[in-house]
């Protein structure tokens, strides 16, 4: 399994996923510092959304994180048996 996480994701925070992955040796993970939820979107700036639970979250594209995550996915898939 490959987990690619946004370090600034306030919608689905990376920390619980990182903690779980640390206990799962078959999980490769990378957290992109500063990247928000939906960092792999093709375009668009950061946006905020108000959720029914009262939280305001930020999401949107991060070109550098998107490019690196695409490369990582292709490398991960190429390495599968």
Q: How far is it, in rounded angstroms, from Cα 36 to Cα 15?
A: 13
Model pTM score: 0.87
Question: Between 3 and 44, whose confidence is greater?
Answer: 3
Contacts of 21 (CB under 8 A, 6+ apart): 3, 27, 29
Q: How far is it, in rounded angstroms, from Cα 65 to Cα 31?
A: 9
The two tokens of residue 54 are 């009262």
pLDDT digits (tens, 9 = 90+) for 20-62: 999 998 999 999 999 999 999 988 889 999 999 999 999 999 9
The pLDDT score that the predictor gives to residue 43 is: 84
């Amino acid at each position: 399994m490959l987990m690619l996480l946004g370090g600034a994701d306030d919608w689905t925070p990376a920390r619980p996923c990182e903690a779980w992955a640390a206990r799962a040796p078959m999980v490769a993970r990378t957290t992109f510092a500063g990247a928000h939820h939906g960092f792999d979107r093709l375009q668009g700036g950061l946006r905020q959304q108000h959720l029914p639970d009262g939280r305001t979250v930020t999401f949107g594209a991060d070109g550098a994180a998107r490019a690196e995550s695409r490369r990582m996915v292709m490398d991960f898939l190429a390495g599968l048996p």
